[in-house]
Amino acid sequence: MNLFEQIGYLFSNYDVVGSFWVNIQLTFWAAIGAMILGTVLALMRVSPAPSLQWAGLTYVTLVRNTPLTIIITMGVLGVWGQLQITFADNFDLNFFIFACIGLAVYHAAFVCEALRSGVNTVPLGQAEAARAIGLPFLTAARLVIFPQAFRGAVAPLGNTLIALIKNSTVAAVGSVATETSSVMRTMIEFNGNMVVLIFMIFAVGYVILVVPVGVVTTTLSRKLAVAR
């Protein structure tokens, strides 16, 4: 078989595009979850209440230092296997949801840190002005600080998103058998003579996925930066 026949053979026998689609879906849902949880955590960390600050800091310290692999393994073997918590009757969907939650829980810590670095880009005067017109903490955060913080945090948030796209492969550890690294594993196991080609297909796929996200977030971070 020449190179093109090999590529044709691999694409017609395995659902390569579909496996990337699974990773994109994992990334999409996990990104939404991480964004919501991360924003709440960031709010907690800059809030005036010590108990909330402490809870936020503890979460970030614990989660950031735990390997994602352990978090996802714990979801499947611990929460599902031992605590018998299920999210869906369908086996595949259940593991998919577990993987999304694991990814969201892990990346929320990084979203929180990104937003905090965004808060740091907002000049002191903004917060003082918000205080001067009598806005309480939550209103000041909602109307003055966080809108600017989000714009200042585009670059680190983009990096977190790129990390999330790549880390979505770890869902394989959580028994999501239709995503890229599991599919690649099956493909290599059955076609040992095409290892390099199979690896290159998936590697190039990720380059194609990741590079535009980097370009877009870099451009956005320049465009959205608040001129000061």
Partner 1 sequence: MSAQVLFDAPGPKGRRNMVIVNIVGAIVVIGIAVLVLIRFGQTGQLEADRWTSMFTANAWMNFLIPGLRNTLIAAALSIVFSMLFGIVFGLGRLTTIAPLRWISGIVVEFFRAVPVLIMMVAFWLGFGYAQTFDPNTVPLVAVVLALTLYNGSVIAELVRSGVFGLPKGQREAAAAIGMTHSKSLRLVELPQALIAMLPSLVSQFVVILKDSALGSWVTYNELLFMSRLYGSGNGNMLQALIVAALIFILLNWMLTKLADYVAKRLSSRTAAPVHAPDADVQEEIEEKAKA
CB burial of 62-82 (b: ≥16 within 10 Å; e: otherwise) equals: ebeeeebeebbbbbbeebbee
Complex with partner 1: residue 1 or 138, whichever CB lies closer: 138
Using the minimum distance from each CB to partner 1, give the nearer residue, 104 or 170.
Answer: 170
Q: Which of 73, 86, 94, 178 binds partner 1 (CB under 8 A)?
A: 73
Determine the Cα–Cα distance for residues 117 and 108; give it in Å rounded to an integer. 14
Instruction: State yes or no: residue 169 binds partner 1 (CB under 8 A).
Output: yes
Q: Does 83 bind partner 1 (CB under 8 A)?
A: yes
User: Where does this chain touch partner 1 (CB under 8 A) — which range of 2-10, 28-36, 59-67, 97-105?
Assistant: 59-67
101 binds partner 1 (CB under 8 A): no
Nearest-angstrom CA–CA distance, 14 and 33: 30
85 binds partner 1 (CB under 8 A): yes
Under rule CB under 8 A, which residues in 118-137 are in contact with partner 1?
119-124, 126-128, 131, 137
Specify burial of residue 118 (Cβ count, 10 A radius: 0-12, 13-18, 19+): buried
**Helix 3-13 vs helix 195-224: angle between axes, to the nearest 10 degrees?**
80
State which of residues 25, 39, 66, 94 lies at the interface with partner 1 (CB under 8 A).
Answer: 66
What are the b/e assignments for 13-27, b being 16+ CB within 10 Å? ebebeebbebbeebb
CB 202, min distance to partner 1, A: 5
Site string for partner 1, 170-209 (x = CB under 8 A): x-xx------xx--xx--xx--xx-xx-xx--xx--xx--
Q: Going by C-beta distance under 8 Å and a sequence separation of 6 or more, which residues neighbour residue 43?
A: 141, 146
By CB under 8 A, name the one of 39, 69, 86, 94 that touches partner 1: 69
The reply on whether position 48 binds partner 1 by CB under 8 A is yes
